[in-house]
Amino acid sequence: MKQALRLLPWPVTLIGTYAGGRHNLMTASWVSQVSFRPPLVMVSVAPERYTYELLTANGEFVVSILAADQQQWAEFCGSRSGRDVDKVKELGIKTAPAQKVKVPLLADCVANLACRVVSIHPAGDHVLFVGEVIEGNTPRLEAAPLVIKDWEYGRYTKD
């Protein structure tokens, strides 16, 4: 069973949250669209993450799809907590204000999806936050997205 699970490829995204004047980014691969109408996406967040704290405080998040050349951002934002470090500042990530949410968009990722939480579902050792996508943009439409399988990074390309 463990071997079978390891064959599931995941996207690599940064989840942006904002509350109390703090903007935080967390690497997340357990992210998926779950409805067309309305457009809904879910992200699975462990309760011990700083992201969980900001997400429950403000009820908004931004999913930023990373490009294959942004693996370093994924590694940093996936191993350090926003409780200890300002990840946006440390990595020099450029942001742009969103129109409909307080969470800033990332200026140089493949795409941003700004979401408002519509439901929350406990799921084992994680919690699923389902958000309605209310705004989006595509700063690097042509870039190959970063993906991961069995904890090895790769890039998505068409055959």
Structural contact between residues 43 and 129, judged by C-beta atoms closer than 8 angstroms = yes
Query: Nearest distance from residue 36's CB to ligand FMN, in Å?
Result: 22
Query: Nearest distance from residue 87's CB to ligand FMN, in Å?
Result: 7
Report the distance separating Cα 92 and Cα 76, nearest Å: 12
Whichever of 28 and 98 has its CB closer to ligand FMN, that residue is 28
Query: Nearest distance from residue 127's CB to ligand FMN, in Å?
Result: 9
Whichever of 50 and 135 has its CB closer to ligand FMN, that residue is 50
Position closest to ligand FMN via CB: 78
Comparing C-alpha atoms, which of 71, 73, 75 is closest to residue 95?
73
Whichever of 37 and 131 has its CB closer to ligand FMN, that residue is 131
List of residues contacting ligand FMN (CB under 6 A): 12, 24, 26-30, 44-46, 49-51, 74, 78-82, 126, 148
Whichever of 27 and 58 has its CB closer to ligand FMN, that residue is 27
* End-to-end Cα distance, the chain: 29
Structural contact between residues 43 and 114, judged by C-beta atoms closer than 8 angstroms = no
In one letter, which amino acid is 3? Q
Query: Nearest distance from residue 142's CB to ligand FMN, in Å?
Result: 23
Whichever of 47 and 138 has its CB closer to ligand FMN, that residue is 47
Query: Nearest distance from residue 72's CB to ligand FMN, in Å?
Result: 11
Q: How many residues does the chain have?
A: 159
Detail the DSSP E strand segments found in the chain.
Answer: 10-11, 13-19, 22-28, 31-35, 40-45, 60-65, 95-96, 105-106, 111-123, 126-137, 146-149, 152-155
